[in-house]
Amino acid sequence: MIAGTIVTLAVCTTLVIVGIKALETYQSIAAGLQGPFLESKIQETFQNTAFAASGNEGGILEVATADTTEIFAKKSEISLFDHILPLGATVSEIQIPAVYRYHIDLNDAWQISSQQNKCVVVAPKISASLPVAFDTGKMKSKTASGWARWNKHENLSELKKSLTGKLAKKAVSPKNIDRVREEARLSIAKFVKTWLLHQEHWNKERFTEIIILFPDEVESLDLKPGHPLPPATLRLNHTVSPPAPEALPETKL
């Protein structure tokens, strides 16, 4: 009888010790995920710490670049009463190297949330950095007047003056922005990873995946817990490489 009681007490004591250890472990893990990573605090913490890490006083984070050679043409004809007069056309062409740069404004709206071990970020939209840089030293041009026209130099001069506006129009086009989307996504993921490392939350016990989305991508997504999430942009100890960007055409005169 006494022996049975002793055994029972020993078993109960063991269970209590195990329970205490489990509780301590749980509290330790919970403490690690609290503080800056409570849902009510994660956005505020990101804004207070990640912005300072950008090192850019203007709050701009460059996320992608695209080098290409652009060709622009200008055709000049004379018309009268909506009819082209048969005086020939003046045609000028310019070929010029250009560098498109894209950024996000860190002061724009962010949506930061956590789902299990995933950090889900809806970043600000991708914006073109203007004016577009181009190299006039490597510019090539040609111009020719129609048989009864003598304005080839004026036509070429007008084309040169329009380069800044034409490049800006191409820079902000949805087609150009889509070309750099994946490069920008990965750049932002690395930026967020730096923040997580600073907070000591980028490890196998805490966050192991970063998912970066843009405002125009979330309209058809349900980011509430329990719903499927898009693929990770970055994983712990593994970089999800973006697909190769579509080559921008280079045409020689």
Over residues 53-79, the pLDDT tens digits come to: 554 556 889 999 999 999 999 887 665
Q: What is the pLDDT of residue 171?
A: 97
pLDDT digits (tens, 9 = 90+) for 88-125: 788 899 999 999 999 999 888 898 888 888 999 999 99
Peptide bond into 230 cis (omega under 30): no
* Low pLDDT (below 70) residues in the chain: 1-44, 47-58, 77-87, 147-149, 238-253
Q: What is the pLDDT of residue 29?
A: 35
Domains of the chain by residue range? 1-33, 38-239
Task: Name the pTM for this structure.
Answer: 0.74
Q: Which residue has the tokens 């003598």?
A: 150
73-to-92, 137, 142, 166, 250 alpha-carbon distances in Å? 6, 19, 10, 11, 14
